[in-house]
Structure 1
């Protein structure tokens, strides 16, 4: 990705901020996710506040798994495997129970 950014800047950069903005907007459209205006390859650290943690937990037990947040150490990866092994069936039971409840209600 870095080489693509560099190549586009060489080819299309005209020395003004408007051309840089145009290039990165095109990259964003092409990649399907936002491309930052800095040339760093590092991803920003996510804040593990309550809402991001809840989002991560829901994506694990619902088996969506967007992949934007992921455990990084071996211990946390193993922990998440066991968490998913327990959480996914519980989530399924809850969904079935809610479905039956709403099915009888309406």
Structure 2
């Protein structure tokens, strides 16, 4: 299913903290595991660019244990200039500022 949103529509998820992490493509799995180990969460949604990446992540995460109006945390991995451009396009389109992930996050804030 695809949902198209008019360019004039303002979509904002209040209570959602958004961050990005700059890293090399081959560092993504390690960073994901590190984040899953230190962050508290009820659900995790991971978006990937390819079916192969989805299958690989599913196999790696098998052993590991945002709706509107709820708090949440979104972390985007930026590994190349194309990723950075997409992140900038999202920030411009939705008029949000996505900061670099700090060393520590207060778990009560998300």
TM-score by length of 1: 0.30
Q: Return the structure number with greater helix share.
A: 1
Larger radius of gyration: 1
